[in-house]
Amino acid sequence: MRLQPRQQILDVWKAVAKYSRPADLWTWGGRQQRNSISDAEQLLCLMYPAATVSHLRLDEPDSTAFDVTEALRQLGDETEIPKLLIDALTSYMATYTAEDGTPLFGGGRYFLPAEAGAELTEKQLSLGVVDSFATAITLSLSTLGFLKVFSRSVRRQALKDKIAELEEATSTRLSAAMIGLLRSFSVYVFERDSVPGRALSRTLNQQGEQDRAVLERLQDRLEGVRASIRDAKLGLSQDESLQAALDNENMLFECGWSWGIVSGAPKVETTEQVGEQADGVALGAPYLYFTVVALDGISDLFSNRTQVLGLLNDGQQRLAQALQLRWSLTLDYWSEIARFGEGRWPLEDIPWRTTDEVESDYFSLLVTAVVLLDLLRRRATDDDLTRTVSVLEELAVRGRINRRIVAGDPAITLHSPGVRLELTGAEKFGPEVTWVVSDFAVLLLKRAVRASGLSRNRAARDRLLSVAEDALGHVWQRRMADGPAAGLWDDPSALFPEVQVDRERPSWYLTERVIECLTLAAHSVQESPIRSPRLLEIATDLLGEADQLYNQEQLEASQHANSAMQTAMHRINTQLTRARQVVQERPGTAAAIVYEVLRDLDKLAVARHDATRSV
């Protein structure tokens, strides 16, 4: 299935509008019922593309495209849509703010009991989770940018007051979410001879070397990360003991984000008024899934749009800098681990094995996501990408994205019910808690699209787009075909008939992730085409020949000047000027222009030759 992001986003928008406002009131709730994540994902289905894709903007009613208005007709016209979104956003902020003004980030029914029949307590359902923090950052930035632009066209004082109140609530939620992510960051230290130490050694040792030699090389490669963690004030519960442990070369470590606020995490000192900072309960060790979620959310803080519109105040800038340090350390660490050694990378040894000795193709995809973020940050060369492309292709096969699915295939569990993660620490308030992730196909789509935007090699980019289109085709088949949630996700029974799901309510979890992928694809489409060195050489040679022939024709034209010929020569000169302007960035376009010029010059030469013979 070909990526056509604009039309595909509008198709999904039409379904979102129909479900969210079947009558005069906004309808909340999805398959996981109402919670701070699901409701935010529902809003992001509209807000994220509108905030980041210029042709889909909703914040300037006079500039709203006709097809955008038609897709969202269920929400009103171009002037009513922004007001409706403001009302929905205001309702969201009020719902997930406590009476004392503290923003709430509970995971709700995204939390699941580990044992069938068990019932989670209200305290467990209200625990803050990294998914909610990261989603809040993206939604808050989208909202602040939307309000900043839309307010320029507002004249009514009542609406201005409503916008000001929403801006304040959104800014508070943004600050609280940033603090939540700071307090969810973790560095896990362990001995070489421990279970996680031996597991890490097996992951790294792809050449059958002595473990001691492998770990010594690892220490050398991670010295910069180790020193930064040791010397920086990260606000971790074990800061003093951590520094001592990292001074010991026999200790290994991991860094990243736990599932929620880490047990013992100190409160963050800030001038931002965010209410109470709750005590943490989460295990002080990174989870790959929540690490990737956090990295993606934090990336939005450094986007061009955030900086150009000045969406962060001074206090938030300081919080963002603290998050950026953790973001960089995490990318450095996992990229070094994934690409360790001179031969086969650990990343290429699929499936990835975590330090708690759990293996899954999904974990390989998560580590690949981190590596791609690192390559994007460093603007790496295509040589760095080549092996990552092969990993994505292999994961597409293993996940049956582009292969026939047979009954009982274990790969089905990657998609439904998904990979189950144990949220260690949440059992303090009730039964054991798990988190299920079932976005394998969408995550593969997102990473393939992002990598294609990074690649400047035509062959590699074509391979990545092939993976992306296969993943999109897989995901698109899982849209619900009928009912109130028609056109939304997720109905895996379209591919896996034995799977039974609720077809009355959508999974905003998956729907929002599909929208995010299509938005990334839209950005990729807007980028300049890949410049082929071979095509540039051909276009340059053609341009040189055309220039030479044009100059010759000019000499002849001066002897046989007439208005028709002068008009033709002027047109050719204009085309040559255009070809020179674009040849470096778009050599194919330049070549096409020059081919037309060469044909016109040849026609002039033939006409002149015939005229000379007839005299």
59-81: pLDDT as tens digits: 999 999 999 999 999 999 999 99
CB–CB of 424/283 below 8 Å?
Answer: yes
pLDDT at 381: 60
Neighbours of 14 (CB within 10 A): 16
Range in 150-154, 243-247, 486-490 with the lowest mean pLDDT: 243-247
Query: Cα separation of 175 and 510, whole Å?
Result: 26
pLDDT score at 586: 84
Identify which of 332, 317, 323 has the alpha carbon closest to the alpha carbon of residue 299: 323
Q: Are strands 251-257 and 185-191 parallel, antiparallel or unpaired?
A: antiparallel
Q: Cβ-count burial of 612 within 10 angstroms (0-12 exposed, 13-18 middle, 19+ buried)?
A: exposed
Mean pLDDT, residues 483-487 taken together: 93
CA–CA distances in Å: residue 370 to residues 365, 367, 443 = 9, 5, 12
Residue 294's contacts (CB-CB under 8 Å, 6 or more residues apart) are 130, 133, 134, 181, 184, 185, 256, 257
Q: Quick check: 436 and 422 in contact, CB under 8 A? A: no
Q: What is the DSSP letter of 177?
A: H
Helix (H, G, I), strand (E, B) or coil at 491: coil
Place of tokens 């990243």: 256
Q: What is the mean pLDDT of residues 377-387?
A: 72
Residue 561 has pLDDT above 60, yes or no: no
Q: Round to whole Å and give the CA distance between 558 and 483.
A: 74
According to CATH, what is the number of the domain 5-190+253-526?
1.50.10.20
Is residue 555 scored above 80 in pLDDT?
A: no
The answer to whether residue 176 scores a pLDDT higher than 90 is yes
pLDDT of residue 615 exceeding 60: no
Instruction: Compute the distance between CA of residue 298 and CA of residue 15 in angstroms, rounded to an integer.
Output: 29
**Residue 462 has which token pair?**
């074509």
Range(s) of the chain covered by CATH 1.50.10.20: 5-190+253-526
Long-range contacts of 473-479, Cβ-Cβ distance < 8 Å, separation of 24 or more: 473/1, 474/401, 474/402, 474/441, 475/441, 475/442, 475/445, 475/514, 476/1, 478/441, 478/510
State pLDDT tens for residues 32-45: 899 999 999 999 99
